[in-house]
Amino acid sequence: MGRRMGTVMPKKYINGEAIDIETIVRLRPWIEDEWKSVHGNFSKTKLITDYDAKTELFKFQLHFFK
C-alpha cells in the first residue's frame, strides 16, 4: 500500500443546513471569507449538498483545499 499520487484530499470542511440552495449559494462567499480569516488561504472549495425530505432541509459540506 503506497501513497496515491495525484489525488488531493481536502484539508478541512464545514457542515451546515439551510432551507434552500439559494441560501447556501448566497452565504458561500461569506463562509469562505470567514474560513480564510481563521485558517488561512486555500486554493479552491467544493460544495456538496443533499436534501433531507424528512426535515425539508438541505444539508451541505463545504470542503477547503490547500
For residue range 51-65, what is the model confidence (pLDDT) as tens digits? 999 999 999 999 999
Q: Does 57 map to a domain? A: yes
Q: Which residue range is the domain that position 35 belongs to? A: 12-65
Q: What's the confidence (pLDDT) of residue 8?
A: 57
Q: Does 5 map to a domain? A: no
Q: Does 59 map to a domain? A: yes
3 state SS of 49:
strand
Closest CA to 50 of 59, 38, 63, 41: 59
CA 11/CA 22 separation, integer angstroms: 26
More confident residue, 8 or 38: 38
What total number of domains does the chain contain? 1
Closest CA to 42 of 11, 14, 7, 8: 11
Supply the pTM of this predicted model: 0.75
**pLDDT more than 70, % of the chain:** 83
